């Protein structure tokens, strides 16, 4: 019997996601998309595991149980959850509410279900769970998926950012990139942040103990940043005198600029001269229009002059953009 899957993706990249799924999982049959475009429903007779080759697909998760016409406070849902959570598990619930029948937000659903399951003797562990359970409310259906992989369904939950949303989202983007591409933070002593304002990426690196050269003619949010570890050069990247930077030995180049992908790539090549051999590059590829494949191809072609191991990924906190990782030749 075919296994059913929930395939999470960004609705803005739905067409690209379907195309790459066909290439990576030829036996996967796309059955439908939910009305929000947040995920696809698919089935396959062979196992479909998450793949490093996937750029636009965020996660592929087998469905454990599908319930029809069930509310999140229903007895049927709690019984279904108890069937897949064992006594020895330390569980965490991740909820996504796309249902028009419930006004509850994801956090409310998670708290209610977690408390109800703990009353049944099961053990919740929000920090170090051994079992992560997704509960997705979609129209009249509820999908339950169990996994040991950490993935945030509701990536843009408002209370995640607090008052510093602009800087905080930027920091989440960089943290996700460093974690996903497996960069050892301990090896980064000096970072160069091009297009740094308002300073989220610089701030994240400074908090990790690195010194940061932040380049931007716009002002940084000084009151929110650790300026003891950040040196601000108030110039446009294009106007920087490269000779003045050659005294530095840079471990990572960071670029999150709202310019065309080919222009970002060209700037990354220009600054490559001051990077150590083997230094890292993280930049965002802004998808300024729907020519997604062309933008990716152009950026890769330009970067290949100075960088190797180029990889791209649409990460949870990316919006109309992809994150690119590469290594200085």
Average pLDDT over residues 282-307: 93
Q: What is the pLDDT of residues 154-193, one digit of tens each?
A: 554 533 444 444 455 778 889 989 999 999 999 999 999 9
Report the percentage of the chain scoring pLDDT > 90.
Answer: 57
pLDDT of residue 160: 46
pLDDT of residue 276: 94
Does the bond joining 198 to the residue before it have cis omega, within 30 degrees of 0?
yes
Phi and psi angles of residue 158, each rounded to the nearest 5 degrees, phi first: -60, -40
Question: CA nearest 325: which of 297, 292, 303?
Answer: 303
pLDDT of residue 269: 97
Among the residue ranges 195-204, 240-249, 296-305, 319-328, the one predicted with the least confidence is 240-249
Question: CA nearest 66: which of 18, 120, 138?
Answer: 138
Among the residue ranges 35-39, 80-84, 129-133, 137-141, the one predicted with the least confidence is 35-39
Q: What is the pLDDT of residues 217-241, one digit of tens each?
A: 998 887 777 788 999 999 999 898 8
pLDDT of residue 159: 38
- CB of 172 closer than 8 Å to CB of 315: no
The model's pTM is 0.82
Average pLDDT, the chain: 88
Q: Which letter, b or e, does each residue of 299-315 get, where b requires 16 or more Cβ atoms within 10 Å of its Cβ?
A: bbebbeebbeebebbbb
Q: What is the pLDDT of residues 43-58, one digit of tens each?
A: 998 888 767 778 998 8
Strands 3-9 and 57-62 come out as: antiparallel
pLDDT of residue 162: 44
CA distance 81 to 208: 39
């Amino acid at each position: 019997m075919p296994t059913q899957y929930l395939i999470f993706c960004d609705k803005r990249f739905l067409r690209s996601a379907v195309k790459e799924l066909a290439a990576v999982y030829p036996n996967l049959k796309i059955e439908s998309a939910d009305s929000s475009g947040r995920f696809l429903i698919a089935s396959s007779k062979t196992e479909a595991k998450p793949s490093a080759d996937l750029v636009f697909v965020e996660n592929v998760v087998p469905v454990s149980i599908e319930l029809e016409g069930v509310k999140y406070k229903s007895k049927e849902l709690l019984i279904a959850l108890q069937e897949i959570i064992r006594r020895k598990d330390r569980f965490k619930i991740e909820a996504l509410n796309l249902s028009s029948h419930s006004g509850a937000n994801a956090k409310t659903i998670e708290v209610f279900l977690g408390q109800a399951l703990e009353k049944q003797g099961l053990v919740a562990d929000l920090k170090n769970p051994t079992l992560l359970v997704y509960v997705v409310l979609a129209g009249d259906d509820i999908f339950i998926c169990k996994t040991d992989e950490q993935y945030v369904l509701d990536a843009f939950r408002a209370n995640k950012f607090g008052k510093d949303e602009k800087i905080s989202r930027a920091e989440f983007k960089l943290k996700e990139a460093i974690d996903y591409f497996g960069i050892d933070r301990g090896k980064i002593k000096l970072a160069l942040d091009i297009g740094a304002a308002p300073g989220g990426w610089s701030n994240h690196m400074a908090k990790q103990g690195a010194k940061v050269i932040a380049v931007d003619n716009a002002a940084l949010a000084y009151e929110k940043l650790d300026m003891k570890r950040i040196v601000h050069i108030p110039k446009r990247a294009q106007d920087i005198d490269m000779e003045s930077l050659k005294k530095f030995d840079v471990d990572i180049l960071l670029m999150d600029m709202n310019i065309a992908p080919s222009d970002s790539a060209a700037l990354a090549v220009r600054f490559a001269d001051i990077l150590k051999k083997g230094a890292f590059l993280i930049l965002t590829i802004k998808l300024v229009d729907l020519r997604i494949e062309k933008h990716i191809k152009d950026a890769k072609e330009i970067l290949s002059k100075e960088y190797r191991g180029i990889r791209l990924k649409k990460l949870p906190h990316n919006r109309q953009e992809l994150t690119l990782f590469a290594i200085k030749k």
